[in-house]
Amino acid sequence: MKLYNALSQSIENFTPGNDAVSIYVCGITPYDTTHLGHAFTYTTFDVLIRYLEYKQHDVKYVQNVTDIDDDILRKAKEVEGDWLDVGNRWTRHFIEDLQTLNLRPPEYFPRATEVIAPMIAIVEELIEKGVAYESGGSVYFHIAAWPEFGKLSRIPKEEMLAVANERGNRPDDPHKQAPLDFVLWQAYAPGEPYWDSPWGKGRPGWHIECSTMSASLLGNTIDIHGGGSDLIFPHHESEIAQSEAATGEKPFVRFWMHTAMVHHDGEKMSKSLGNLVMARDLLKTWSPDALRLYLAGYHYRDIWSHDEDALALAEQHAQKLLSAATASGGTGPAFDASTAEAAIISAMDNDLDTPAALTALAQLADDIATAAATGQNVEAAQTTLKALSTIFGLRLAADSPEERVISGWNEHLKKF
Protein backbone atom coordinates (compact mmCIF):
# COMPACT_ATOMS: atom_id res chain seq x y z
CA MET A 1 0.00 0.00 0.00
CA LYS A 2 1.30 3.44 -0.96
CA LEU A 3 0.27 6.69 0.72
CA TYR A 4 1.21 10.31 0.17
CA ASN A 5 3.26 11.56 3.10
CA ALA A 6 2.95 15.33 3.50
CA LEU A 7 6.23 15.42 5.44
CA SER A 8 8.28 14.14 2.48
CA GLN A 9 5.76 15.47 -0.06
CA SER A 10 5.96 12.14 -1.87
CA ILE A 11 4.11 8.85 -2.17
CA GLU A 12 5.77 6.20 -0.02
CA ASN A 13 5.24 2.54 0.78
CA PHE A 14 3.23 2.25 3.96
CA THR A 15 3.83 -0.47 6.52
CA PRO A 16 2.78 -0.29 10.19
CA GLY A 17 5.45 0.51 12.74
CA ASN A 18 3.95 -2.00 15.19
CA ASP A 19 1.39 -4.81 15.23
CA ALA A 20 -1.50 -2.31 15.18
CA VAL A 21 -1.66 0.72 12.89
CA SER A 22 -1.80 3.79 15.14
CA ILE A 23 -3.89 6.66 13.76
CA TYR A 24 -4.68 10.06 15.25
CA VAL A 25 -7.11 12.39 13.47
CA CYS A 26 -7.69 15.91 14.74
CA GLY A 27 -11.31 16.17 15.80
CA ILE A 28 -13.82 18.96 15.85
CA THR A 29 -13.99 22.09 17.90
CA PRO A 30 -17.64 21.43 18.71
CA TYR A 31 -19.82 24.18 17.32
CA ASP A 32 -21.66 24.53 13.98
CA THR A 33 -21.08 20.92 12.95
CA THR A 34 -21.27 18.70 10.85
CA HIS A 35 -20.57 20.49 7.57
CA LEU A 36 -19.51 18.84 4.33
CA GLY A 37 -15.83 19.58 4.96
CA HIS A 38 -16.04 17.74 8.29
CA ALA A 39 -17.84 14.87 6.58
CA PHE A 40 -15.19 14.66 3.84
CA THR A 41 -12.35 14.47 6.34
CA TYR A 42 -13.87 11.93 8.71
CA THR A 43 -15.32 9.67 5.99
CA THR A 44 -11.90 9.70 4.27
CA PHE A 45 -10.20 8.39 7.38
CA ASP A 46 -13.06 5.97 7.96
CA VAL A 47 -12.41 4.53 4.49
CA LEU A 48 -8.68 4.33 5.21
CA ILE A 49 -9.29 2.49 8.50
CA ARG A 50 -11.87 0.16 6.98
CA TYR A 51 -9.49 -0.66 4.14
CA LEU A 52 -6.66 -1.40 6.55
CA GLU A 53 -9.02 -3.71 8.42
CA TYR A 54 -10.07 -5.30 5.11
CA LYS A 55 -6.36 -6.07 4.62
CA GLN A 56 -6.33 -7.75 8.05
CA HIS A 57 -4.50 -4.98 9.93
CA ASP A 58 -5.42 -4.16 13.50
CA VAL A 59 -6.03 -0.43 13.94
CA LYS A 60 -5.80 1.72 17.05
CA TYR A 61 -7.62 4.96 16.27
CA VAL A 62 -7.87 8.18 18.27
CA GLN A 63 -10.08 11.12 17.34
CA ASN A 64 -10.19 13.98 19.82
CA VAL A 65 -12.62 16.72 20.78
CA THR A 66 -11.16 20.21 21.25
CA ASP A 67 -13.62 21.13 23.98
CA ILE A 68 -11.69 24.13 25.35
CA ASP A 69 -10.54 26.68 22.80
CA ASP A 70 -10.92 30.34 21.82
CA ASP A 71 -13.63 29.41 19.31
CA ILE A 72 -15.69 27.52 21.88
CA LEU A 73 -15.51 30.41 24.34
CA ARG A 74 -16.45 32.89 21.62
CA LYS A 75 -19.42 30.76 20.52
CA ALA A 76 -20.64 30.33 24.11
CA LYS A 77 -20.52 34.09 24.58
CA GLU A 78 -22.50 34.66 21.37
CA VAL A 79 -25.32 32.36 22.46
CA GLU A 80 -25.04 33.39 26.12
CA GLY A 81 -24.49 29.77 27.11
CA ASP A 82 -22.11 27.78 29.25
CA TRP A 83 -19.02 26.78 27.27
CA LEU A 84 -19.20 23.17 28.45
CA ASP A 85 -22.90 22.84 27.57
CA VAL A 86 -22.31 24.34 24.12
CA GLY A 87 -19.47 21.92 23.41
CA ASN A 88 -21.37 18.90 24.70
CA ARG A 89 -24.46 19.74 22.66
CA TRP A 90 -22.54 20.09 19.39
CA THR A 91 -20.46 16.99 20.09
CA ARG A 92 -23.63 14.95 20.52
CA HIS A 93 -24.90 16.42 17.24
CA PHE A 94 -21.64 15.43 15.53
CA ILE A 95 -21.73 11.87 16.86
CA GLU A 96 -25.33 11.42 15.71
CA ASP A 97 -24.31 12.50 12.20
CA LEU A 98 -21.36 10.08 12.13
CA GLN A 99 -23.58 7.25 13.29
CA THR A 100 -26.05 7.97 10.50
CA LEU A 101 -23.18 7.95 7.99
CA ASN A 102 -21.97 4.61 9.40
CA LEU A 103 -18.51 5.76 10.49
CA ARG A 104 -16.54 3.27 12.53
CA PRO A 105 -15.99 4.72 16.02
CA PRO A 106 -12.46 5.36 17.26
CA GLU A 107 -11.10 3.28 20.10
CA TYR A 108 -10.54 6.53 21.97
CA PHE A 109 -12.51 9.78 21.73
CA PRO A 110 -10.83 11.99 24.34
CA ARG A 111 -11.83 15.53 25.19
CA ALA A 112 -8.97 17.95 25.75
CA THR A 113 -10.09 18.79 29.27
CA GLU A 114 -9.47 15.16 30.29
CA VAL A 115 -5.69 15.55 29.96
CA ILE A 116 -4.91 18.83 31.73
CA ALA A 117 -2.35 17.27 34.10
CA PRO A 118 -0.39 15.48 31.33
CA MET A 119 -0.39 18.71 29.31
CA ILE A 120 1.09 20.63 32.22
CA ALA A 121 3.77 17.95 32.59
CA ILE A 122 4.77 18.27 28.93
CA VAL A 123 4.89 22.06 29.16
CA GLU A 124 7.16 21.77 32.21
CA GLU A 125 9.41 19.44 30.23
CA LEU A 126 9.62 21.93 27.35
CA ILE A 127 10.60 24.73 29.75
CA GLU A 128 13.31 22.54 31.28
CA LYS A 129 14.69 21.78 27.82
CA GLY A 130 14.94 25.47 26.97
CA VAL A 131 12.46 25.57 24.09
CA ALA A 132 9.64 27.22 26.07
CA TYR A 133 9.39 30.13 28.49
CA GLU A 134 6.89 31.56 30.99
CA SER A 135 5.83 35.18 30.69
CA GLY A 136 2.89 36.96 32.29
CA GLY A 137 1.36 33.71 33.52
CA SER A 138 1.39 32.19 30.04
CA VAL A 139 3.90 29.74 28.58
CA TYR A 140 5.11 29.96 24.98
CA PHE A 141 7.09 27.72 22.65
CA HIS A 142 10.09 29.66 21.39
CA ILE A 143 10.31 29.08 17.65
CA ALA A 144 13.92 30.31 17.44
CA ALA A 145 14.95 27.46 19.75
CA TRP A 146 13.66 24.85 17.28
CA PRO A 147 15.37 25.34 13.89
CA GLU A 148 13.37 22.54 12.25
CA PHE A 149 10.13 24.50 12.59
CA GLY A 150 8.60 24.58 9.12
CA LYS A 151 9.71 21.15 7.92
CA LEU A 152 6.12 19.95 7.39
CA SER A 153 4.52 23.00 5.79
CA ARG A 154 7.68 24.27 4.06
CA ILE A 155 6.31 27.79 4.27
CA PRO A 156 9.09 30.38 4.00
CA LYS A 157 9.83 31.91 7.40
CA GLU A 158 8.89 35.39 6.19
CA GLU A 159 5.41 34.15 5.19
CA MET A 160 4.61 32.12 8.32
CA LEU A 161 3.35 34.96 10.48
CA ALA A 162 0.62 36.06 8.08
CA VAL A 163 -0.73 32.51 7.83
CA ALA A 164 -0.54 31.94 11.60
CA ASN A 165 -2.38 35.22 12.25
CA GLU A 166 -5.28 34.02 10.09
CA ARG A 167 -5.47 30.86 12.20
CA GLY A 168 -5.58 32.05 15.78
CA ASN A 169 -2.12 33.50 16.44
CA ARG A 170 -1.94 36.68 18.51
CA PRO A 171 1.16 38.50 17.22
CA ASP A 172 0.70 41.55 19.46
CA ASP A 173 0.72 39.58 22.72
CA PRO A 174 3.11 41.69 24.84
CA HIS A 175 4.35 38.65 26.76
CA LYS A 176 5.83 36.94 23.69
CA GLN A 177 9.52 37.10 22.85
CA ALA A 178 8.65 36.78 19.14
CA PRO A 179 5.32 37.23 17.28
CA LEU A 180 5.32 33.65 15.94
CA ASP A 181 5.93 31.97 19.32
CA PHE A 182 2.84 29.91 20.07
CA VAL A 183 1.05 29.52 23.36
CA LEU A 184 1.36 26.31 25.34
CA TRP A 185 -0.48 27.58 28.42
CA GLN A 186 -2.82 30.59 28.33
CA ALA A 187 -3.02 32.77 31.43
CA TYR A 188 -6.45 33.20 32.98
CA ALA A 189 -8.68 35.94 31.65
CA PRO A 190 -11.77 37.12 33.56
CA GLY A 191 -14.88 35.13 32.69
CA GLU A 192 -12.99 32.20 31.20
CA PRO A 193 -12.70 28.68 32.63
CA TYR A 194 -9.37 27.89 34.23
CA TRP A 195 -7.24 25.19 35.78
CA ASP A 196 -4.45 25.56 38.32
CA SER A 197 -0.89 25.24 37.07
CA PRO A 198 2.68 26.05 38.18
CA TRP A 199 2.28 29.37 36.32
CA GLY A 200 -1.04 30.30 37.88
CA LYS A 201 -4.62 29.87 36.72
CA GLY A 202 -5.13 29.32 33.01
CA ARG A 203 -6.00 26.90 30.23
CA PRO A 204 -4.07 24.89 27.64
CA GLY A 205 -3.12 26.13 24.20
CA TRP A 206 -4.64 24.45 21.16
CA HIS A 207 -1.54 22.68 19.83
CA ILE A 208 -0.43 21.07 23.08
CA GLU A 209 -3.84 19.41 23.45
CA CYS A 210 -3.38 17.15 20.43
CA SER A 211 0.26 16.31 21.18
CA THR A 212 -0.70 15.25 24.68
CA MET A 213 -3.72 13.16 23.70
CA SER A 214 -1.73 11.47 20.93
CA ALA A 215 1.23 10.61 23.17
CA SER A 216 -0.99 9.52 26.06
CA LEU A 217 -2.96 7.05 23.98
CA LEU A 218 -0.70 6.02 21.09
CA GLY A 219 2.87 6.61 22.28
CA ASN A 220 5.60 9.00 21.22
CA THR A 221 5.70 7.89 17.57
CA ILE A 222 2.54 7.09 15.62
CA ASP A 223 1.94 5.73 12.14
CA ILE A 224 -0.57 8.21 10.70
CA HIS A 225 -1.71 11.65 11.80
CA GLY A 226 -4.56 13.18 9.83
CA GLY A 227 -6.81 16.16 9.50
CA GLY A 228 -7.85 18.84 7.05
CA SER A 229 -5.13 20.55 5.02
CA ASP A 230 -5.88 23.83 6.81
CA LEU A 231 -4.32 22.27 9.92
CA ILE A 232 -0.88 21.77 8.38
CA PHE A 233 0.20 25.21 9.56
CA PRO A 234 0.39 26.20 12.29
CA HIS A 235 -1.33 23.34 14.12
CA HIS A 236 0.49 20.27 12.86
CA GLU A 237 3.75 22.13 12.46
CA SER A 238 3.52 23.16 16.10
CA GLU A 239 2.62 19.63 17.17
CA ILE A 240 5.79 18.30 15.59
CA ALA A 241 7.97 20.91 17.28
CA GLN A 242 6.62 20.49 20.79
CA SER A 243 6.30 16.69 20.60
CA GLU A 244 9.76 16.00 19.25
CA ALA A 245 11.30 18.59 21.57
CA ALA A 246 9.57 17.06 24.59
CA THR A 247 10.26 13.38 23.90
CA GLY A 248 13.56 13.62 22.05
CA GLU A 249 12.17 11.00 19.67
CA LYS A 250 11.83 11.40 15.91
CA PRO A 251 9.64 11.16 14.07
CA PHE A 252 6.58 12.15 16.06
CA VAL A 253 4.52 10.94 13.08
CA ARG A 254 5.61 8.57 10.30
CA PHE A 255 2.92 9.58 7.78
CA TRP A 256 1.05 12.89 7.66
CA MET A 257 -2.21 12.75 5.69
CA HIS A 258 -4.44 15.73 4.94
CA THR A 259 -7.77 16.08 3.19
CA ALA A 260 -8.30 18.87 0.70
CA MET A 261 -10.65 21.76 1.28
CA VAL A 262 -14.23 21.60 0.03
CA HIS A 263 -15.55 24.61 -1.88
CA HIS A 264 -19.06 25.96 -2.36
CA ASP A 265 -20.31 28.93 -4.34
CA GLY A 266 -16.82 29.53 -5.69
CA GLU A 267 -15.05 29.80 -2.33
CA LYS A 268 -13.68 27.54 0.39
CA MET A 269 -16.47 26.31 2.61
CA SER A 270 -16.07 28.00 5.99
CA LYS A 271 -18.00 29.31 8.96
CA SER A 272 -16.66 32.83 8.41
CA LEU A 273 -18.01 32.98 4.85
CA GLY A 274 -21.37 31.54 5.84
CA ASN A 275 -21.40 29.08 2.93
CA LEU A 276 -21.54 25.87 4.93
CA VAL A 277 -23.46 22.88 3.63
CA MET A 278 -24.51 20.69 6.53
CA ALA A 279 -24.48 16.90 6.25
CA ARG A 280 -27.71 16.62 8.24
CA ASP A 281 -29.51 18.85 5.73
CA LEU A 282 -28.31 16.72 2.81
CA LEU A 283 -29.48 13.56 4.56
CA LYS A 284 -33.03 14.91 4.52
CA THR A 285 -32.99 14.36 0.74
CA TRP A 286 -30.30 11.80 0.05
CA SER A 287 -29.53 8.39 1.56
CA PRO A 288 -26.48 7.83 3.79
CA ASP A 289 -25.02 5.50 1.14
CA ALA A 290 -25.41 8.21 -1.50
CA LEU A 291 -23.56 10.73 0.66
CA ARG A 292 -20.79 8.22 1.38
CA LEU A 293 -20.39 7.46 -2.35
CA TYR A 294 -20.51 11.17 -3.17
CA LEU A 295 -17.70 11.99 -0.74
CA ALA A 296 -15.57 9.01 -1.77
CA GLY A 297 -16.02 10.04 -5.40
CA TYR A 298 -13.34 12.70 -4.87
CA HIS A 299 -9.72 11.88 -4.15
CA TYR A 300 -8.85 12.98 -0.65
CA ARG A 301 -6.04 15.28 -1.83
CA ASP A 302 -8.03 17.05 -4.56
CA ILE A 303 -9.91 20.30 -3.89
CA TRP A 304 -13.52 19.98 -5.05
CA SER A 305 -16.78 21.90 -5.08
CA HIS A 306 -20.14 20.78 -3.79
CA ASP A 307 -22.31 19.63 -6.71
CA GLU A 308 -25.94 18.55 -6.30
CA ASP A 309 -25.86 16.81 -9.70
CA ALA A 310 -22.95 14.66 -8.57
CA LEU A 311 -24.85 13.83 -5.39
CA ALA A 312 -27.88 12.79 -7.43
CA LEU A 313 -25.64 10.54 -9.52
CA ALA A 314 -24.23 9.03 -6.32
CA GLU A 315 -27.80 8.16 -5.27
CA GLN A 316 -28.24 6.30 -8.55
CA HIS A 317 -24.99 4.41 -7.91
CA ALA A 318 -26.18 3.51 -4.42
CA GLN A 319 -29.35 2.02 -5.87
CA LYS A 320 -27.33 0.14 -8.50
CA LEU A 321 -25.15 -1.43 -5.81
CA LEU A 322 -28.19 -2.35 -3.73
CA SER A 323 -29.90 -3.97 -6.74
CA ALA A 324 -26.79 -5.97 -7.58
CA ALA A 325 -26.35 -7.10 -3.99
CA THR A 326 -29.91 -8.39 -3.78
CA ALA A 327 -30.43 -9.70 -7.34
CA SER A 328 -31.60 -13.28 -7.77
CA GLY A 329 -29.34 -15.32 -10.01
CA GLY A 330 -29.69 -18.81 -11.43
CA THR A 331 -27.98 -22.16 -11.18
CA GLY A 332 -25.67 -21.62 -14.12
CA PRO A 333 -21.91 -21.11 -13.95
CA ALA A 334 -20.65 -19.01 -11.05
CA PHE A 335 -19.79 -15.44 -11.91
CA ASP A 336 -16.18 -14.63 -11.01
CA ALA A 337 -15.66 -11.28 -9.25
CA SER A 338 -11.93 -11.70 -8.68
CA THR A 339 -10.89 -9.35 -11.49
CA ALA A 340 -13.05 -6.54 -10.11
CA GLU A 341 -11.78 -7.19 -6.58
CA ALA A 342 -8.17 -6.97 -7.80
CA ALA A 343 -8.91 -3.68 -9.57
CA ILE A 344 -10.43 -2.17 -6.43
CA ILE A 345 -7.53 -3.31 -4.24
CA SER A 346 -5.05 -1.91 -6.77
CA ALA A 347 -6.80 1.47 -6.73
CA MET A 348 -6.99 1.62 -2.95
CA ASP A 349 -3.33 0.64 -2.62
CA ASN A 350 -2.49 3.59 -4.88
CA ASP A 351 -2.76 6.39 -2.31
CA LEU A 352 -6.37 5.59 -1.48
CA ASP A 353 -7.67 6.23 -5.01
CA THR A 354 -11.34 6.00 -4.06
CA PRO A 355 -12.69 7.43 -7.36
CA ALA A 356 -11.01 4.65 -9.35
CA ALA A 357 -12.07 2.05 -6.80
CA LEU A 358 -15.71 3.18 -6.97
CA THR A 359 -15.63 3.04 -10.78
CA ALA A 360 -14.53 -0.60 -10.52
CA LEU A 361 -17.18 -1.27 -7.86
CA ALA A 362 -19.92 0.17 -10.07
CA GLN A 363 -18.70 -1.97 -12.97
CA LEU A 364 -18.85 -5.04 -10.73
CA ALA A 365 -22.46 -4.17 -9.85
CA ASP A 366 -23.33 -3.89 -13.56
CA ASP A 367 -21.65 -7.21 -14.32
CA ILE A 368 -23.44 -8.98 -11.46
CA ALA A 369 -26.79 -7.64 -12.67
CA THR A 370 -26.07 -8.88 -16.20
CA ALA A 371 -24.87 -12.26 -14.97
CA ALA A 372 -27.94 -12.68 -12.75
CA ALA A 373 -30.24 -11.80 -15.65
CA THR A 374 -28.64 -14.54 -17.78
CA GLY A 375 -29.04 -17.20 -15.08
CA GLN A 376 -25.51 -17.33 -13.70
CA ASN A 377 -24.89 -18.09 -10.05
CA VAL A 378 -23.93 -14.73 -8.50
CA GLU A 379 -23.97 -15.57 -4.79
CA ALA A 380 -20.18 -15.59 -4.34
CA ALA A 381 -19.84 -12.40 -6.39
CA GLN A 382 -22.49 -10.73 -4.24
CA THR A 383 -20.58 -11.69 -1.12
CA THR A 384 -17.50 -10.03 -2.63
CA LEU A 385 -19.52 -6.95 -3.58
CA LYS A 386 -20.86 -6.61 -0.05
CA ALA A 387 -17.41 -7.03 1.49
CA LEU A 388 -15.94 -4.40 -0.83
CA SER A 389 -18.84 -2.06 -0.10
CA THR A 390 -18.05 -2.15 3.61
CA ILE A 391 -14.71 -0.44 2.83
CA PHE A 392 -16.75 2.64 1.93
CA GLY A 393 -19.07 2.35 4.91
CA LEU A 394 -22.10 1.46 2.78
CA ARG A 395 -25.18 -0.06 4.37
CA LEU A 396 -26.67 -1.52 1.17
CA ALA A 397 -29.76 -3.45 2.32
CA ALA A 398 -29.28 -2.81 6.03
CA ASP A 399 -31.92 -0.64 7.69
CA SER A 400 -29.47 0.87 10.15
CA PRO A 401 -25.74 1.43 10.65
CA GLU A 402 -23.50 -1.43 11.76
CA GLU A 403 -23.92 -2.56 15.34
CA ARG A 404 -20.34 -1.59 16.21
CA VAL A 405 -21.04 1.91 14.88
CA ILE A 406 -24.10 2.35 17.10
CA SER A 407 -22.66 0.75 20.24
CA GLY A 408 -19.18 2.27 19.95
CA TRP A 409 -20.37 5.83 19.46
CA ASN A 410 -23.03 5.40 22.14
CA GLU A 411 -20.27 4.50 24.57
CA HIS A 412 -18.43 7.70 23.68
CA LEU A 413 -21.66 9.68 24.01
CA LYS A 414 -21.76 8.95 27.74
CA LYS A 415 -19.12 11.65 28.29
CA PHE A 416 -21.14 14.43 26.66
CATH number at residue 371: 1.20.120.640
Give me the percent of the chain exceeding a pLDDT of 70.
Answer: 100
Amino acid identity of residue 82, one-letter, is: D
194 belongs to a structural domain: yes
pLDDT of residue 310: 97
What does the pLDDT look like over 241-264, one tens digit per residue?
Answer: 999 999 998 899 999 999 999 999
Q: Are residues 179 and 263 in the same domain?
A: yes
pLDDT in tens, 125-167: 999 999 999 999 999 999 999 999 999 999 999 999 999 999 9
Q: What is the predicted pLDDT for the residue at 274?
A: 81
Give the pLDDT of residue 278: 97
Which pTM was predicted? 0.97
Is residue 249 located within the same domain as residue 351? Answer: no
Flag whether pLDDT at 271 surpasses 90: no
Averaged pLDDT of the chain: 96
Is 412 part of a structural domain of the chain?
Answer: no
What does the pLDDT read at residue 273? Answer: 77
Average pLDDT over residues 371-391: 98
Indicate whether 71 and 46 sit together in one domain.
Answer: yes
> How would residue 266 be classed by pLDDT, with cut points 50, 70 and 90?
confident
The number of folded domains in the chain is: 2
112 and 234 within one domain: yes
Overall average pLDDT of the 306-331 stretch: 97
Question: Other CB atoms closer than 10 Å to residue 131's CB: what's the count?
Answer: 21
Mean pLDDT of 56-75: 96
Q: Are residues 111 and 182 in the same domain?
A: yes
User: What domain range is 58 assigned to?
Assistant: 2-274
What is the predicted pLDDT for the residue at 391? 98
- Name the band, by pLDDT with cuts 50, 70 and 90, for residue 396: very high
The pLDDT value recorded for residue 382 is: 98
Q: What is the CATH number of the domain that holds 179?
A: 3.40.50.620
| Mean local confidence (pLDDT), 402-413 | 98
pLDDT surpassing 80 at residue 272: no
Residue 218 and residue 354 in one domain? no
Q: What is the pLDDT of residue 302?
A: 98
Confidence band of 42 (pLDDT split at 50, 70, 90) = very high
